[in-house]
Homo-oligomer: A and B are copies of this chain.
Amino acid sequence: MTTTIIAVDVHDVRFPTSLTGDGSDAINRGDYSATYVELRTDDPSGAVGAGFTFTNGQGNEITCAAVRAFAPTLVGRTLEDFIAEPVAFSRSLTAHPQLRWLGPEKGVIHMATGAIINAVWDLRAKLAGVPLWRLLAEMPTDELVACVDFNHITDAITPADAAAILDKGRVGYEERLAGLESDGFPSYTTSVGWLGYPDDKVRALTRQAYAEGWRAMKMKVGGPLADDIRRAEIIRSEIGPDALLMMDANQVWDVDVAIAAMKELAAFNPYWIEEPTHADDVLGHARIAEAVRGFTNGTCHVATGEAGANKVIFKQLLQANAIGIMQIDSCRVAGVNEVLAEILMAAKFGVPICPHAGGVGLCEYVQHLAIFDYLRVGTSLDGRMVEYVDHLHEHFVDPVRTREGRYLLPEQPGYSATMKPSSIAEYSFPDGPVWAR
């Protein structure tokens, strides 16, 4: 019995979030969108693998075109091929002899690969009848190691290193799982401090979030420094000295500007500064991290990853001691397999993971990755929390569920990526009713 991919359907789904200022930061003002992929199969149950990559609105048609470019590589292949030779499968996309030029392994072409590979994992987990986090967390070590393409990262981690980490991660597994089942996974909220919100809205949202139980909140910075300071004062005054306040500059600063700004913003005791400069600037992040550690006595970390192009960038951020928090993203890199490489490297270097979420569907995706990381790799909740943004969950068949600032364990089979057919129809661009109006 094999399950064969018989068609690759792509939907350009866009939500008009730019109208409200949700998601506005120093550099992005987006319409949260998904390049939504359905892998249709010959499985008698009609099983469909669902995956997507997140984009910011305009250009979502470009990632859709990239998915279509890979379709001939996918149709006719089986899930069993993927399971037997996961690296060969993912390299047939990431090292495609013609399409690789368009990256290599970055940007549009890599994001499309991420949507596709995530859809294959969704299919696999659905057919196995388990949520993705459980499929991964309970997989034999050698099978997990075989999922990782170590090409270009062997100077940081070897298959033997990975196996040792994953074997060690079996110890205490049941206790950790029981803890998650009763208490959920820690998270923080980014819904309070978008740049597009006026001060009174920031204050009201912060107060509300605190009342709801959130003790970690993130604000956007990178506007005029006086504005950043004023907004930081508002939030810190609302949450008191003990709750965590994170700051996110969305890459807008130059290296020396970042250092100067953080010297001022350090007064508000930030827990991390996220994306202080360009996402590709490993050496810049290293300089900023060293400076910030210096003037905060190590209490403020540099965090980045939502725009981290691939495992080679993450490898260097770790090698250069440039990050104290690694923010993996679920669909900018080439899907679950590449994220596994990143999670394992973070463990090797002792850096905790706090995944990037928000957008549309990113919370649904990354909860699985964070739970797997804790259960089988990182094994500690110290410094681990998942971003939470309260947008657009209603469009998913198996949306995230939270309680008092914690994610509850996903229970349905798959990767929680399946969107409601009614939402796909309503928000399809440009012909869905929302956009045709």
Contact = CB atoms under 8 A, between A and B. Distances in A.
Nearest to A279: B104
A98 to B, nearest CB: 4
A144 to B, nearest CB: 21
Contacts of A151: 254
Interface string A73-108: 000000000000000000000011111111111111
Nearest to A95: B27
A256 B154 contact: yes
Nearest to A57: B98
A298 B435 CA distance: 61
Contact of A110 (B28, B58, B107, B279): B107
Contact of A98 (B29, B102, B254, B257): B29
B62 A62 contact: yes
Contact of A101 (B30, B100, B315): B30
Contacts of A104: 251, 278-279, 307
Most buried by B among A31, A97, A313: A97
Interface string A148-171: 000111110000000000000000
Interface string A48-74: 000000011111011101100100000
Residue among A256, A257, A282 with the highest chain B CB neighbour number at 10 A:
A282
A319 interface: yes
Nearest to A73: B58
A225 interface: no
Contact of A65 (B28, B62, B256): B62
10 A-B pairs closest in CB distance: A107-B107, A108-B108, A56-B101, A58-B98, A155-B255, A57-B98, A29-B97, A152-B278, A280-B312, A59-B99
